[in-house]
Structure 1
């Protein structure tokens, strides 16, 4: 019968609810008199008239309060407030009608009637909602022929209660208990679920067959979340969390959209609030440009720039899809923030000097963040010429465009791999730093700054998405070496610090080099084990003979066991607690020009030997771990050379290149 009622149109459902409420209101009036008189009440004609008008007026009031627009299965606290407001109105109407009809009414009857209305009208809806939820879950489980997975919700606050409400309307999970660290609410019951301390988790797992923990602790710091995850790790339960507040507000995620644990929680590192003047100074009411706008750091820079109220934001990227994706996201952010910023997506490569100059001058760029780079170590190692051309000459082209257009601030996003590099990517970024420092010694109004930091979690080249995919596929998880360690930082924190470091750079001499405090280095093998356990699996050979295996593949070309942030120890603290400034050896502009000419010549000739020699001789500290790994270079060496000749096309007269 309930299933039949659920399939009815909205109007018939409303009519049925009105009829039921009318009967319940009449029952509440008779019950109020009967309870007061301690005998079954026999209404007079005057009472029937008063009851009838009261019921009609009350139902009308309920309708005006929106009670019949609320779906019973999604009954909210606001709907229950409407019931209470309607009960107050109904009680007053009953008193007034008794006075008009001169019907007998003891003074306590309106109070009893008020409570009966809430119990009957409100209780009917709560009971019906619970019944519908049970039937829907039963039907869904029967249709899908599976048993609901039993889960424990960690966090019994408002977020936990909202999550429980969302889970009650789906067939996948069956919440069996809350866990909360607040002693004041332990041993209480919330929406039918008991609240337990964390020490009871092993008992709950054993009694109820719990296989998953759902975190609903949105207000907890990352440090506290890391402590909770450390506690949960040995249980081997899959741990998931509700979306962050930012995802709920800006990305239209629902409270019930569960996701795997965030990498920020694994680090346990809480971001330091930004200094407002440093965040807004280079952005607010200005035209800002981001190269590599579709990348991990570039896209997060764009998000933060939109929030800071820039006048224009120029997005430059060579990848059409990445450019579309970030511009589409920013358009949605604009609407939610009621922002008037003009978002300008531009296709182009930093290797095109003329294109860059045209873009920067046409839009009147005032602040430029240069995040475009090839950053994946093995890929750049195997494509040496393109890596150097993009990272070094691309940086030079962007800086020249900024100089020509009179840009106020130019910020280069660098990497810890530039310190005593053993790979082409690191060497090219160190050379890009030297190029920028050399250009800073030329007289200009543009302030150049360099911001150096380590790996960011969740980027396209990060181990985190790779590990997560490997774990979901059943393993194995590949780690290069059991002792390899890396510095890690979240993308939002890194982007925020880049913006603030750039603002600090405008206060210091041009060419300043900044380092971001990366915290403690992370052992990658231990990090992989933590991810495996928190995704509900065991580590084979460590936790048990079964589970996800970790395979050590050996260091890849250009990799080293650990990264550094400093070449020298000459660093100083800035007024931001996580930004340091450092003095390191630099070159004069004439020396930089000579290096750039040699780099350009080697790139144009596709001469990997000359490029390797150049990077070794240049003051970069470059000590490659092996021979040149460029794939095309090795392919050419393995085949006999075939000379090229330039001939003229007999019909068009155009010059064409032919292989002899």
Structure 2
């Protein structure tokens, strides 16, 4: 017999005793403490029938599944209703028996008096337990402590309760768990009061200010479902990201963080074939351009795990390169690192670097990526994203690199911006170069990266901290989103899978509405949308789309052995012709923006120069993988 069954049996026995005593007291009151022997002989029958019937009705109304330490008006109303039904049934039954035998065996007043006594006794006992519980368990709630609900009553939940009790200003008042066997139990004095569907009720009932999700092993899909429930409550939502094993082994502390947008994607991260990656990186000289940026720095971190012979960190900004260099030197003291300050637009400098270090694997992450800025500075986008890529790619070809992976973007598909168009030209160039080179050239195309510099999420968080408003360009704008580790793992995996000329694409799930993302961040901060924090629509910026795409209609896609990675069908691009078109761009760099954009459109006919945004929404037909 488990603890839940024992608890139920104990409650039933207590109720039977209280109801029986109520009937006995009703007899004593009815006959002024002098019960005639004729009526006295029927007291056991009246008490037992009343008790058993009432307990059955309590069971029918699930009253034994309630946690009475948290009794509310709703539970008391249900109890009274159950008592009314049992009393009515016994009154009718007693009347039928009275007609059959011709005698008044049990006075009707006994049932009526019993009803009031047992309602007061049972309801009072439940209420008394709640008052006792609040006094005993919540009595040490100090001023400034935040009433906290912990979701997950497993090992992680127990560690969180212990940590909260010892070190923080969060005070655990209750726990939630989907295992019905745990309902009614306690962990370190904190009761388990329901499942995930009870969270809104419990938050309201117990005046919960913070919710901590202590379920580090749950899938992203399940985590998203739980967060969706939590964000309707108005409480601040936090999460325990580390596994219990890591905590117990001392690798990590019980560190609770705010729920991030990564947790809202509702899908598990991409997993890579570590053995395959290790084979092509181990013992190689690896170059990462843009190594100080969000993607480049994470690439460098993950590549370092696979024991390259030498890792070259190339970037234009000395501070960012210094930062990633120091981080990697501390974490991988035996790794041979070479920080390189260089501009990818400087062809001779790039050739000198390749001649000196002879990189075998190249990850090209250096780029200008800010859409509105590049819209105002198209010549700089061309210099960096087109000419810079050309310099790195040709150096990789000339000096015999084994593999070259270009970091691209979904904005290169049917581009409406200068940035997207220059990235599409970069894709086209490496595909054309692959046809004449021994180096395996490939590109990786993905959507917006959460948390990267210049992305929308850090902006939203800062605006929320400042009290709003949160600025959204358009209520219908949607984007595909990835985490930085996901994007980087895809890039590294693509390098392993590349045979030459491919554009690899990640299945990024469903696109996310930017305004929904903003609302989620506001709610998860414990604030109310349009009350505490306003949302302000600022209008679509130059070069932006309402919707992003991941494939052109001409490309199509085919599967790979990785179930989350697809390959766009290679396009037939002649290297000499492509080289000539890029060379012609030099002649227009000093011209006005319109002339430059017209030239870009000649190279990428799908470039929607000055697109009509309203019509774009009507014509939009996403290409599905």
Change (3 A) 1:156 1:247: closer
Residues 242 and 254 in structure 2, CA contact (< 8 A), matched pair in contact too? no
1:613 to partner: Cα distance: 2.2
Match of 1:582 among 553, 559, 568: 568
Partner residue in 1 for 2:407: 413
Aligned to 2:379: 385
Q: Cα deviation per residue 1:454-482 (whole Å; 9 max; x = unaligned)?
A: 11222113221111111222211111111
Structure 2 partner of 1:290: 288
Change (3 A) 1:327 1:246: farther
Whether contact under 8 Å (2:200, 2:230) holds in the other structure is no
Alpha-carbon spacing, 1:329–1:607, altered in 2? closer, same or farther (3 Å): same
CA distance in 2, matches of 1:282, 1:232: 44
Q: Cα RMSD (Å) of the superposition?
A: 2.5
Structure 2 equivalent of residue 185 of structure 1: 182
1:201 aligns with 2:194: no
- Note the 1:208-219 alignment, pairs <5 A: 208-219=206-217
- The reply on whether 1:446 has 2:431 as its aligned counterpart is no
Distance in 1 between residues matched to 2:351 and 2:288, nearest whole Å: 14
- Give yes or no for contact 1:243–1:254 (8 Å, CA) kept in 2: no
Q: How far has the Cα of 1:606 moved from its partner?
A: 5.5
Distance of 1:312 and 1:192 partners within structure 2: 55
Q: Which of 607, 613, 624 is the equivalent residue of 2:609? A: 624
The 3 A distance-change label for structure 1 pair 204 and 411 is: same
Match of 1:519 among 509, 514, 522: 509
For residues 225-264 of structure 1, what are the alpha-carbon distances to aligned partners after superposition, in whole Å with 9 as ceiling and x for unaligned?
1010111121111101234459979xx9964443221222
Change (3 A) 1:608 1:625: closer
Q: For residue 583 of structure 1, report the CA deviation from its aligned partner.
A: 2.2
Distance 2:279 2:593 in 1: 43
Q: Give me the whole-angstrom Cα distance separating, in 2, the residues matched to 1:615 and 1:217.
A: 50
Match of 2:301 in 1: 303
CA contact (8 A) 2:217 2:243 kept: no
Deviation at 1:272, TM superposition (A): 3.9
Q: Which residue of 2 aligns with 1:459?
A: 452
1:356 and 2:342 matched: no
Q: Given the superposition, is the C-alpha separation of residues 246 and 217 from structure 1 closer, same or farther in structure 2, using an over 3 Å criterion? A: closer
Residue 493 (structure 1) shift:
1.2
Q: Which residue of 2 aligns with 1:592?
A: 578
Distance of aligned partners of 1:591 and 1:607 in 2 relative to their CA distance in 1, 3 Å threshold: farther
User: Alignment length, in residue pairs?
Assistant: 471
User: CA offset at residue 161 of structure 1?
Assistant: 2.2
| TM-score, structure 2 normalization | 0.71
Is 1:529–1:539's contact at 8 Å kept on the other side of the alignment? Answer: yes
Structure 1 position 226 matched with structure 2 position 211? no
> Alignment partner of 2:280: what SS?
coil
Offset, 1:607: 4.8
Q: Retained in 2: the 8 A contact 1:241–1:260?
A: yes
Report the equivalent of 1:493.
486
How far apart, CA to CA, are the structure 2 residues paired with 1:318 and 1:245? 38
- What is the aligned partner in structure 2 of residue 555 from structure 1? 540
Gaps of 5+ in 2: 1-137, 613-625
CA distance 1:495–1:245, shift in 2 (3 Å): farther
Cross-structure match for 1:402: 396
Match of 1:241 among 204, 220, 239: 239
Quick check: 1:469 aligned with 2:454?
A: no
The Cα shift of 1:333 comes to 2.8
Q: Distance in 2 between matches of 1:414 and 1:206?
A: 47
Q: Could you tell me how far 1:200 is from its partner in structure 2?
A: 3.9
Q: In structure 1, what is the Cα distance between the partners aligned to 2:168 and 2:603? A: 64
Q: Name the CA distance, whole Å, in 1 between partners of 2:245 and 2:413.
A: 36
Q: Distance in 1 between matches of 2:163 and 2:306?
A: 34
Classify 1:463/1:618 alpha carbon distance in 2 versus 1 (closer, same or farther; 3 Å).
same
Deviation at 1:430, TM superposition (A): 0.6
1:431 matched to 2:417? The reply is no
Residue 502, structure 1, aligned to residue 495, structure 2: yes
> Deviation of residue 314 (structure 1)?
1.0
Find the counterpart in structure 2 of residue 267 from structure 1: 265
In structure 2, distance between residues paired with 1:228 and 1:399: 46
Whole-Å separation in 2 of the counterparts to 1:446 and 1:457: 31
Aligned to 1:121: none
Q: Deviations over 1:610-652 (max 9, x none)?
A: 422210211341122279xxxxxxxxxxxxxxxxxxxxxxxxx
Give the TM-score normalised by the residue count of structure 1.
0.67
Deviations 1:359-416 (A, max 9, x none): 2332231100001111111111122111111000010010122122211000001111
Unaligned stretches of 5+ residues in structure 1:
1-133, 541-545, 628-660
SS at match of 1:168: helix
The separation in 2 between residues aligned to 1:293 and 1:419, in whole angstroms, is 25
Instruction: Measure how far apart 1:492 and its partner are.
Output: 0.8
Contact 1:223 1:265 in 2 (8 A): no
d(CA) in 2 for partners of 1:538 and 1:397? 51
1:319 to 317, 320, 330: 317
* C-alpha separation in 1, matches of 2:534 and 2:507: 33
Matched residue SS, 2:171: strand
Contact 2:270/2:489, CA 8 A, preserved across alignment: no
Cα pair 1:162 1:255 within 8 Å, conserved:
no
Partners of 1:421 and 1:620 within 8 A in 2: no
**In structure 2, how many angstroms separate the alpha carbons of the residues matched to 1:308 and 1:480?**
41
Query: Could you say what secondary structure the match of 2:227 adopts?
Result: helix
